A and B are shown apart, each in its own frame.
Chain A
Amino acid sequence: MADLVSHPDEVKVVSRRFGQGAANLDRYLELDGYKAVQKALSIGPDAVINEMKASNLRGRGGAGFPTGMKWSFVPKQAPKPKYVLCNGDESEPGTCKDRLILEHDPHSVIEGVVVAGIAVGSHTGYIYIRGEYRYLSEIMQKALADAYARGFLGKNIFGSGYDFDVYWHGGAGAYEVGEESALMESLEGKRGVPRIRPPFPAVVGLWGGPTVINNVETLASVPHIMLGGGEWYASLGTPKNGGTRLFCLSGHVAKPGVYELPLGYNLKKMIFEVGGGIRDGNKLKAVTPGGSSTPVLKADECDVGMDFDQLMKAGSMLGSGGVVVLDDTTCMVKYLQRIMMFYQHESCGWCIPCREGTDWLKKTLNRFHAGGGVEKDIGNIQYLAENMLGRTFCPLGDAAAMPAISIVKKYRNEFEDHLNGRPCPLEAKALEAVPA
């Protein structure tokens, strides 16, 4: 179980109930639990969607798509059942926020699913939890059973005449099934490979029915928006970037942890004030601002507001909120090598550029970092990544290509330092520093 951290700049919305025993249903009810569902039932679908639009909530899974708009795409009438899916496959390196929500506040996720269901006219929700989060699945199963026992789920919820079922489903350990259409395949019992789009899930999703799929944090934010109002939520963040989000601050900062900060919060401030600065008095070298797939920012590019639009302008992405801070003892070649090991391992293999591209990037980087690099490797790394970018079947290929392109571009000198059979200079230094 993860330790909780805190900082005065935090604005606690989603993390409000963290550490308060809210996994217990009674405790949750004391903390305004299940009021959002009742409100949604009373105001009706259109009003719920309007609140969501007003909130400027953007998806916390990575792409940052406006949630209210996503819900509004679901057709009112559909020949097949509609579904709400909660994406709890959280696997992007550097990202560890959904686990806290699932651990400390599982009912808020259930509530978010039900509200989404009411909004789009669905009667079934699935909460998909990554295979490695076994202990969280147990918490979720209990939460669901408790909610059923009280009649908050199932037939005629809260006496409203509305039926809603929520099921839990465990993954088998694949980053790729976090991709929404691959998740649906997995949920249907098939291999976790993405689907061709269009059609988009809002029209043809799980079992062919219209489907809303949202991240855990996105859905956990929903009850707060229901109760606090869309406008209030929007006012917490920056224009078009409503609310707060959980930033997973990791790497070489003094006080790593998950902090809830308003959107638009300055990155530098996040590192040096919230995170307590760089560890051991080292210097900041680079930051991966939104999970390992986002392009790295150099130290001098970190004076930027952490919202979707400002980071986009800065040449990176807000992504999944995983802020990985690297100090000047970090070998960027090694960092990229490690990232690539992940994507090579997680590529589903469906399309040529990602399957082959990640494999050759990994092989090249492994050899390169070990001192076997030759000049043309640097160009090859760039070439491979550039030829994957935008051409793969799903964004995993992009996720592997973006850090590679940015790191080679911004730290080319470090690659050159590895040439001519020289072992990693930073690693050599690190070895020297270890007392005999």
Chain B
Amino acid sequence: MPDVNITVDGKKLAVPAGTLLIEACKSVGIEVPSFCYYPGLSLQGACRMCLVKIEKMPKLQTACTTVVTEGMVVSTEIDEVRQARKAMLELLLANHPLDCPVCDAGGECELQDMTFSYGAAESKLIDIKNHKDEQQWSPVVYFDRPRCIMCYRCVRICGEGMDVWALGTANRGSAQLIMPNHSDYLECEECGMCIDICPVGALTSGAYRYKTRPWEMKHVGTVCTHCADGCKTTLGVRRSPTGMQIVRGDNRDKSGINGDFLCIKGRYAFDFASHDHRIQQPLIRREGRHVPASYDQAYEHIALRLKEIREQHGGHAIGVIGSTRTSNEESYLLQKFARLLLGTNNIDHHRTADFPSFAGALARKKDATASMRDVFNAPAILLIGNDPTEQHPLLAWQIRNNVRLHRARLYVVNSSPIKLRRQAASFTQIPAGSEPQLAAFLAGDDSAANALASGEITREALAALRDKLRGEPNLIIIFGSELRGSSIDSLVRFGAAISGAKFVCLGDYANSRGAADMGLYPDLLPGYVPVGSGARFHEEWGAPVPTEPGMNLLQMVDAAKAGRLKALYIVGANPVARYNLDPFALSKTFIVAHDMFLTETALLAEVILPAANAYEKSGTFTNTCGDLQLLKKAGDITTVKSDFEMLLRVADRLGFDLRQLVPFRQAERADLGQSRGAQSGEADRHAIWLEAHGLEPKLSPFDPIAMLDEIQRLVPGYDVSRVELLAGNDQHTSIEAGVASSIASQPELILPANDTLFTSGTLGRYSRTLNSVIENPRRAPADKADREVVV
């Protein structure tokens, strides 16, 4: 369709047919004020702030509901329009409590901004305002009716965006209000989307209310540390006696892969970081009791014992367990530490998906993985297994809103009637555990249908589904950990016949994919390179590393029990709880644990080092789709250190040349323009550019970006744009193993986390907000919860 020509305030412009007038104005920098209009949500025409004059129309028209037509002549700044805006604001403020000085939204309130811009400071009316007391709807959500301007954004984001439909409007006229689904309390996903989208302070969060003012915080855009989806979250950080405190999480920076979205964990479950039980200093077990020690004592103790064991029993007597929540740089460093320094391939982590098989199946396929952004734009999606609403909230949001806004066709195959079936063009329920047969069937093995067909799901229906999927170019195929090993091969074979098909393999924690990509496997180096074929790593590292596969996690535990494994170095993991291990099996082993809390695993350690979490460090995370993103440090806490730093300190004590572990250089720090008085923004951009082009020297071994240099050089698929990455943008990496057949993926080691919306592994247990929701007596118990409010 040809563009439509219109004139706004004398400016001529051409916009695509179908464009809303308000968007057309925005495209040439003309701001039409709005409250109820919100891109991506249904139109309301309710606030009347966007009234503009359109020639030949007697009345002012709402720019948010008017579609441009050829020759339209619009005025947005004439007196009549100005007066209309001013009057709307006067009417809103007339009943507003004007409690800005104590309101959470003060300083970032759209009503304040509008009043400032369009002027309605004088109040003409003298009668008593209508009042209604504030209500607490849930541990997370509070509602203050007098501040509400009735823009219905909360209602729509909850219904249209989240498919939860927990908010609505009640009463009419001036008595109208927003009401939660149980009339005086709310039972929902507690995502806080309504709070974030509220233009004023009518909805506030239990996590943040009355804590501080927005201008007193530093705002740090980083990546959520909970599930594997990698939402960008902006942390509001304040100084505190211990260094800093995170007081808020939101997504004021909507540039992330998550756009408007955050779930309860990304938004509120930052509070584990300030939990009372956080370990504040190193602990060493002496005579059966953990006693405080200095960092020096702890490093010394660890180095002494490791050296002793390595010398007496060799590297294979030492095992290392990495984390699914440490940065890529830390995981990479850890495996290098194990292989190069301890001389062992005994390294593993809590596996939640079969990434090695996935990589193997994709060998020699280019661009075969989908990014989180792709999921929002694909014309069709096949989802096998998993329940993204609970386990991958962002992914679920992407799928849902792709269906809603772009009419994508969603095909769901699951053993349970998961909530996303409500968006599905087709839902196929198969017997629990029959997902592998489904993969085989899709790949062409018709006999596999025997295990799948039952009731309504006939063989014909399955065949029809397969035919339909084959005719969906650019299909994105998403699968959960139900598919492992050769089933992934089958699925990839099926997808290979569909042009443009891409895949997503779902793992469970914030950096599970990173842990896998960085080679936390006994048989795989970073980038799924078999330990026997790591020539390029050996070359770069300048030292031989063991080429025989090491022990996996369970083998290590067995070896420890048998007394063959003498030491276990555990970084940010709780295998004792996750794999339900017998603690006594590890009683003879020298254990070092880096952790934030005295977990079941940490308790067994001889030395415990208090670790910083992902919000307290810099580096990168790779989400389950393979999107690489930058972690930005919210600030330092005086009592803890990053795993990166602690590993290097131990290495140093072991007498190792740190330059062999981290390729940092010696050089003069570049002039960022200070000498000519550059402004800070310019200097920042310049710094990013220098950094990205490898021109900014890494002066410290503790600079994780130096490690990223090596990762980008050596790990296949990670050679993405540095500038983009450092500027805070997501960069999609590719996954592909060099040699498919040599990978022994040991699918039996995969243990999905099965987290719900309100749990997050061990970490989640320390979040007050998550606990307050789980323990909320007004909530149906989890097993009886029916969060699907019937629409």
Residue numbers of A with Cβ under 8 A of B are 174, 176, 191, 196, 344-353, 355-360, 363-364, 367, 374, 376, 380, 383-384, 387, 390-393
> With an 8 A cutoff between CB atoms, is B772 at the interface?
no
CB distance from B371 to the nearest CB of A (A): 35
Instruction: Give CA–CA (A393, B151) in the complex, Å.
Output: 13
Stretch in B172-180, B468-476, B483-491, B733-741 touching the partner? B172-180
Whether B127 contacts A367 by the Cβ 8 Å rule is yes
Given the complex, which residues of A lie within 8 Å of B95, measured CB to CB?
356, 359-360
> With an 8 A cutoff between CB atoms, is B124 at the interface?
yes
25 A–B contacts from the bound complex (CB under 8 Å): A174-B172, A196-B65, A347-B172, A347-B174, A348-B173, A348-B176, A349-B150, A349-B173, A350-B150, A351-B45, A351-B46, A352-B49, A352-B92, A352-B150, A358-B174, A359-B130, A359-B173, A359-B174, A360-B125, A380-B125, A383-B124, A391-B60, A391-B87, A391-B88, A392-B48
Given the known interface contacts A356-B91, A391-B59, the answer about A344 and B174 at a Cβ–Cβ threshold of 8 Å is yes
Whether B46 contacts A353 by the Cβ 8 Å rule is no
The 8 closest A-B pairs by CB, nearest first: A349-B176, A387-B87, A356-B91, A359-B174, A363-B127, A347-B173, A390-B59, A349-B173
Given the complex, which residues of A lie within 8 Å of B782, measured CB to CB?
none
> With an 8 A cutoff between CB atoms, is B516 at the interface?
no
> With an 8 A cutoff between CB atoms, is B51 at the interface?
yes
Most chain B beta-carbon contacts within 10 A, residue among A348, A349, A380: A349
Whether B172 contacts A360 by the Cβ 8 Å rule is no
Given the complex, which residues of B lie within 8 Å of A196, measured CB to CB?
43-45, 65
Instruction: Give CA–CA (A353, B83) in the complex, Å.
Output: 13
> With an 8 A cutoff between CB atoms, is B164 at the interface?
no
Given the complex, which residues of B lie within 8 Å of A350, measured CB to CB?
46, 150
Given the known interface contacts A364-B127, A383-B124, A387-B83, the answer about A356 and B174 at a Cβ–Cβ threshold of 8 Å is yes
Instruction: Give CA–CA (A394, B130) in the complex, Å.
Output: 24
Given the complex, which residues of B lie within 8 Å of A387, measured CB to CB?
83-84, 87, 90-91
Contact code string B162-184 (vs A, CB < 8 Å = 1, else 0): 00000001011111100000000
Whether B174 contacts A353 by the Cβ 8 Å rule is no
Whether A360 contacts B127 by the Cβ 8 Å rule is yes
Whether B48 contacts A191 by the Cβ 8 Å rule is no
Given the known interface contacts A364-B127, A393-B46, the answer about A344 and B173 at a Cβ–Cβ threshold of 8 Å is yes
Measured CB to CB, the nearest residue on chain A to B92 is A352
Instruction: Give CA–CA (A360, B51) in the complex, Å.
Output: 22
> With an 8 A cutoff between CB atoms, is B320 at the interface?
no
Instruction: Give CA–CA (A317, B23) in the complex, Å.
Output: 37
Contact size range, B? 35 or more
Given the complex, which residues of B lie within 8 Å of A376, measured CB to CB?
124
Measured CB to CB, the nearest residue on chain B to A195 is B45
CB distance from A389 to the nearest CB of B (A): 9
Given the complex, which residues of A lie within 8 Å of B128, measured CB to CB?
363
CB distance from B89 to the nearest CB of A (A): 9
Whether A391 contacts B51 by the Cβ 8 Å rule is yes
Given the complex, which residues of A lie within 8 Å of B60, measured CB to CB?
390-391
Given the complex, which residues of A lie within 8 Å of B570, measured CB to CB?
none
Most chain B beta-carbon contacts within 10 A, residue among A352, A363, A367, A383: A352
Whether B84 contacts A364 by the Cβ 8 Å rule is no
Instruction: Give CA–CA (A196, B42) in the complex, Å.
Output: 11
Given the complex, which residues of A lie within 8 Å of B45, measured CB to CB?
196, 351, 393
Given the complex, which residues of B lie within 8 Å of A346, measured CB to CB?
172-173
Given the known interface contacts A364-B125, A380-B124, A380-B125, the answer about A356 and B84 at a Cβ–Cβ threshold of 8 Å is no
Contact code string B61-92 (vs A, CB < 8 Å = 1, else 0): 00001000000000000000001100110111
> With an 8 A cutoff between CB atoms, is B753 at the interface?
no
Given the complex, which residues of A lie within 8 Å of B84, measured CB to CB?
387, 391
Known: A352-B150, A353-B91, A356-B92. 4 other contacts (CB 8 A): A347-B172, A360-B125, A363-B125, A380-B125
Instruction: Give CA–CA (A391, B51) in the complex, Å.
Output: 8
Given the complex, which residues of A lie within 8 Å of B174, measured CB to CB?
344, 347, 349, 355-356, 358-359
Most chain A beta-carbon contacts within 10 A, residue among B83, B127, B150: B127
8 Å CB interface, B25-73 against A:
43-49, 51, 58-60, 65
Instruction: Give CA–CA (A383, B83) in the complex, Å.
Output: 11
CB distance from A250 to the nearest CB of B (A): 25
Contact code string B127-138 (vs A, CB < 8 Å = 1, else 0): 110100000000
Instruction: Give CA–CA (A270, B746) in the complex, Å.
Output: 95
Given the complex, which residues of A lie within 8 Å of B47, measured CB to CB?
351-352
Given the complex, which residues of B lie within 8 Å of A360, measured CB to CB?
91, 94-95, 125, 127
CB distance from A408 to the nearest CB of B (A): 15
> With an 8 A cutoff between CB atoms, is B347 at the interface?
no
Given the complex, which residues of B lie within 8 Å of A358, measured CB to CB?
173-174
Given the complex, which residues of B lie within 8 Å of A355, measured CB to CB?
150, 173-174, 176
Most chain B beta-carbon contacts within 10 A, residue among A346, A380, A393: A393
Measured CB to CB, the nearest residue on chain A to B67 is A198
CB distance from B168 to the nearest CB of A (A): 8
Measured CB to CB, the nearest residue on chain A to B124 is A380
> With an 8 A cutoff between CB atoms, is B602 at the interface?
no
Given the complex, which residues of A lie within 8 Å of B362, measured CB to CB?
none
Instruction: Give CA–CA (A176, B171) in the complex, Å.
Output: 13
Instruction: Give CA–CA (A393, B87) in the complex, Å.
Output: 15
Instruction: Give CA–CA (A239, B44) in the complex, Å.
Output: 39
Whether A352 contacts B124 by the Cβ 8 Å rule is no
Given the complex, which residues of A lie within 8 Å of B49, measured CB to CB?
352
Given the complex, which residues of B lie within 8 Å of A348, measured CB to CB?
172-173, 176
Measured CB to CB, the nearest residue on chain A to B86 is A387
Given the complex, which residues of B lie within 8 Å of A356, measured CB to CB?
91-92, 94-95, 174
CB distance from A414 to the nearest CB of B (A): 21
Given the complex, which residues of B lie within 8 Å of A364, measured CB to CB?
125, 127
Instruction: Give CA–CA (A352, B152) in the complex, Å.
Output: 12
Given the complex, which residues of A lie within 8 Å of B150, measured CB to CB?
349-350, 352, 355
Measured CB to CB, the nearest residue on chain B to A354 is B173
Whether B127 contacts A352 by the Cβ 8 Å rule is no
CB distance from B272 to the nearest CB of A (A): 41
Instruction: Give CA–CA (A350, B127) in the complex, Å.
Output: 22
Measured CB to CB, the nearest residue on chain B to A366 is B127
> With an 8 A cutoff between CB atoms, is B149 at the interface?
yes
Instruction: Give CA–CA (A336, B401) in the complex, Å.
Output: 49
Instruction: Give CA–CA (A294, B60) in the complex, Å.
Output: 21
Given the complex, which residues of A lie within 8 Å of B46, measured CB to CB?
350-352, 393
CB distance from A333 to the nearest CB of B (A): 16
Given the complex, which residues of A lie within 8 Å of B172, measured CB to CB?
174, 176, 346-349
Given the complex, which residues of A lie within 8 Å of B90, measured CB to CB?
387
CB distance from B202 to the nearest CB of A (A): 14
Most chain A beta-carbon contacts within 10 A, residue among B49, B51, B84, B88: B88
Instruction: Give CA–CA (A360, B174) in the complex, Å.
Output: 10
Given the known interface contacts A380-B125, A391-B60, A393-B45, the answer about A353 and B87 at a Cβ–Cβ threshold of 8 Å is yes
Instruction: Give CA–CA (A392, B88) in the complex, Å.
Output: 10
Given the complex, which residues of B lie within 8 Å of A176, measured CB to CB?
172
Most chain A beta-carbon contacts within 10 A, residue among B46, B49, B130: B46
Measured CB to CB, the nearest residue on chain A to B59 is A390
Instruction: Give CA–CA (A392, B59) in the complex, Å.
Output: 10
Contact code string B427-469 (vs A, CB < 8 Å = 1, else 0): 0000000000000000000000000000000000000000000
CB distance from A342 to the nearest CB of B (A): 11
Instruction: Give CA–CA (A176, B176) in the complex, Å.
Output: 14
CB distance from A178 to the nearest CB of B (A): 14
8 Å CB interface, B100-155 against A:
124-128, 130, 149-150
